[in-house]
Chain A
Amino acid sequence: MPTVHVFARDHINTDEIIPARHLTTDVEAELAKYAMEDYDKDFVRRVQPGDIIVAGADFGCGSSREHAVWALRGAGVAAVIAPNFARIYYRNSINNGFLALECENVVETFMDGDPAELDLAGGTVTNTRTGQTLTFVPVPQFALDVQKAGGWLEYMREQDQNRQDQNQPQQEEQHA
């Protein structure tokens, strides 16, 4: 079962998630070594694949660096749950098919190290230590579509493909 890592403060920013001194690479495994470095140096040693970060409001504010998403994903984080997200971080999450779930009172509901169960289809996250369940804001359909396609670029390519397929018969008719 995933373990929850609580970063309770509001406005955890991209400089803390992945400092600029590490931006000379975009290799996820490399960035992962420094995830949350300026907030909690030991985080990368504790985090296990599939774990969840619970954070305060405005998570990911600051820079546009997508490296923030890559560093967390590379470190094994499966989802970040916060009352809300800074907008560039949020769209970077969507574009990567990485989970950024908006949920009120999430910081109050979890303690660091609690086990959690995430039910994406049901839209809930449960603290299995206390039995408390929270409902998160439904993930927008567009974000689910992008995630299903494998990311924004794949989604865009699929759309292009669909458009070409639609145009194809008409062109053939014209030829005929």
Chain B
Amino acid sequence: MGMTIAEKILAAHSGHDHVVPGQLIECATDWVLCHEITTPAALRMLEERGMDRVFDLEKIVAVPDHSVPAMNIKAAKMYQKLKSWVQEKGIRHFYDVGRGGIAHVVLENTGLIKPGQTLVSGDSHTCNAGALGCFATGVGSTDLAGAIYAGKVWFKVPETMLIRVSGDLAAGVTPKDLVLEVIKRIGADGANYLVMEWVGDTIDRMDMEGRFTLTNMAIEAGGKTGIVAVDDTTRAYLAARGVTQGEYTEYTSDPDAQYKVVIDLDASAVEPTVAYPHIPSNGRVAGSDRIAVTHAYVGSCTNGRIGDLRDVARILKGRKVADGVQMIVVPATQAIWKQAAQEGLLEIFVEAGASVSYPSCGACLGMHSGVLGPDDVCISSSNRNFVGRMGDPTAQIYLASPATVAASAVAGYISDPRAYNADGTEAAD
């Protein structure tokens, strides 16, 4: 019986020629990504048990991102814990505040994580990296501790859901809308325990940024990871980061691979989609109801990349954020921040009356720098709209593409970004 990409990667990392879904394996981890919220607990567990060692110093990537720059003294101590461990052990891949940003987006750009590899992190959006044709998944602090200690983690080999997408996304419709549409169809647990493998001509034509948005959101359908096979787009992306083809293994799913579910989707029929409170599967067409917003947020590991910022700038250029709306724009990494500055995007945001913040997860999970108050209504390019996710439990979070966030910020209520042309001019009715 044939295997899927995910099964092949897991077999290769567990000493098997062949694995089948449901099989329990011990899987070697090529990379362990560490941030300052879940790693200190893992380190404490190891210290308490006299297991304070690192399986391979070269395979740890440490990026403080959630509560940085430290939002309070407790957060400062957690940052210190991560940093002192990094320094003590001599971990080289450390992207400190000012040199990093949001861990997943930092990592995807380093050229460290490669196709065919495995990655775990104490963060649910670790699935982000699956766009590179690797097996990347989020785990808790105990698993993280085990991975730091021994370079391995237990997995039940997951079944795979195949998502076949064909056709062109319409102007103003983005990969975020596509993934929100898929989650709407299958439900917030529609891919629980499953790998979401994306294929089809739409995916073939999609750039890496769009693919990262798709795989990043796998967890919002309960998925173990998202994955996209390597192609020329992947190869070029890696080559631009100094990674040559000989340095990685490209896996493809066999023609007779077994899929638990196959979903077929016509990309041209996807509309700008907004996930209404309080679950990412609650999607409706943008602008179908007139919903006034108090906050607009562009950022997160899902949609804080340069292309996302360009989408926002196209709409904000020469316009103002509506009175009564607080807009914040958070470039995902230091490098993206710099590029946005060079391209003049940050100036457009500031001119429009948006606040440009430093790279951090802060607002997305309601930790700092954009926490919502009682009854606030936020249109957000992030990934999750659960009760209390961005602050007060009575706040309402609507998830959308960066373009929809920008169009809504200008209007003051949730709006369809197709009201604007690709050049930013207003579309005729």
A residues contacting B by CB (< 8 A) are: 10-11, 13, 15-16, 19-21, 23-26, 37-39, 57-58, 61-67, 69, 84, 86-88, 91-92, 95-96, 140, 142, 151-154, 156-157, 160
Contact = CB atoms under 8 A, between A and B. Distances in A.
Contact of A64 (B45, B123, B146, B386): B123
B44 interface: yes
Contacts, number: 129
B192 A152 contact: no
Interface in B137-173: 138-143, 145-146, 149-150, 154
A32 to B, nearest CB: 15
A154 B49 contact: yes
Contacts of B138: 64, 88
B393 interface: yes
B78 interface: yes
B307 interface: no
B222 A58 contact: yes
A65 B386 contact: no
Given A87-B224, A96-B142, A153 B188 contact: no
Given A15-B366, A88-B138, 10 more contacts: A19-B388, A20-B366, A21-B367, A23-B37, A39-B387, A62-B219, A64-B139, A87-B222, A152-B146, A153-B49
9 closest A-B pairs by beta carbon, nearest first, are A66-B140, A24-B74, A38-B388, A26-B41, A92-B140, A95-B142, A58-B189, A64-B138, A64-B124
A65 B140 contact: yes
A137 B189 CA distance: 19
7 contacts: A24-B72, A24-B77, A38-B388, A38-B393, A39-B387, A64-B38, A66-B140
A142 B371 CA distance: 41
A140 to B, nearest CB: 8
A153 B387 contact: no
Interface string B371-405: 10000000000001011110001000000000000
B210 interface: no
A92 B366 contact: no
A77 B140 CA distance: 19
Chain B binding surface SS class: loop
B142 A26 contact: no
Contacts of A84: 189, 192
A86 B222 contact: yes
Contacts of A63: 123-124, 365, 384
B142 A66 contact: yes
Contacts of A66: 38, 41, 122, 140-142
Interface size class of B (residues with CB under 8 A): 35 or more
B51 interface: yes
A94 to B, nearest CB: 9
Contact of A156 (B78, B146, B224, B366): B146
A153 B146 contact: yes
B67 interface: yes
Contacts of B366: 15, 19-21
B46 A153 contact: yes
Contacts of B126: 64
B222 A61 contact: yes
Contacts of B350: none
Contacts of B66: 23
A15 B384 contact: yes
B113 interface: no
A26 B192 contact: no
A102 to B, nearest CB: 12
B45 A86 contact: no
Nearest to A141: B24
B280 to A, nearest CB: 10
A100 B140 CA distance: 15
A15 B145 CA distance: 22
B387 A16 contact: yes
B143 A156 contact: no
Nearest to B50: A157
B47 to A, nearest CB: 11
**Which of B37, B140, B222, B386 has its CB near the most chain A CB atoms (within 10 A)?**
B140
Interface string B201-231: 0000000000000000001001010000000
Contact of B154 (A13, A92, A152, A160): A152
Contact of B189 (A21, A86, A142): A86
B413 to A, nearest CB: 26
B193 interface: yes
B199 interface: no
B6 interface: no
B75 interface: yes
B74 to A, nearest CB: 4
Interface in B73-114: 74-75, 77-78
A157 B45 CA distance: 13
B384 A87 contact: no
A66 B37 CA distance: 11
Contacts of A86: 189, 192, 222
